[in-house]
Amino acid sequence: MVGCFLLTAGLFFGAEAAASDTPHTAEFANYGEAWKAAKADKRPMLVVLNTGDEKKDVDVHGLRDNEKLSKVLDEYVVAQIDTTTEHGQKVLKSFGSPTLPRLVVIDNKQSKQVFATSAKVSESNLKNLLEKQLNSKEATTSLNLDMFGNPKPDCPNCRLKAMGLLK
């Protein structure tokens, strides 16, 4: 269990899975690059963990067809992760290997996971959820370790600290 959290910096900051080729500059296929961009811009992050099966996956590009939802998504840095890749498998493990597809919202300080679900979410519910998180004044928490010192899967800082990416 500890081994899956002791990943190298190259895992999340590797060049092979950089920003996606979409016109939206805040969309990434690499978790680490998305995290760095969200941290620099002080923006919340939407992480979409997909199965690699188009019929089951959450299509972020398709969500952009909804004009109102697209405007809300523009306020987020989006990491759309294909969990069938080597990078995606490591990201999935760092999130505790949840049921897929999975939506995760991380606060604008990249220190707290504020929402996560593997349930199917309608576009209108997703829009409302993302808007609510944008307007939330909820304080962030510090590092969240279990009794053995392992990072809990709901703590973004814990994942990055365990990988040596945060001090």
Instruction: Report pLDDT digits (tens) over 85-100.
Output: 999 999 999 888 899 9
Q: Does 167 score more than 70 pLDDT?
A: no
Q: Does 142 score more than 60 pLDDT?
A: no
CB neighbours of 80 closer than 8 A, spacing ≥ 6?
20, 27, 28, 29, 48, 50, 58, 60
Instruction: Report pLDDT digits (tens) over 28-76.
Output: 999 999 999 999 999 999 999 999 999 999 999 899 999 999 999 999 9
Rounded CA gap, 53 and 66, in Å? 22
Give the pairing type, strands 27-28 and 77-82.
parallel
Question: Packing angle between helix 31-41 and helix 86-94, nearest 10 degrees?
Answer: 60
Q: Does 26 score more than 70 pLDDT?
A: yes
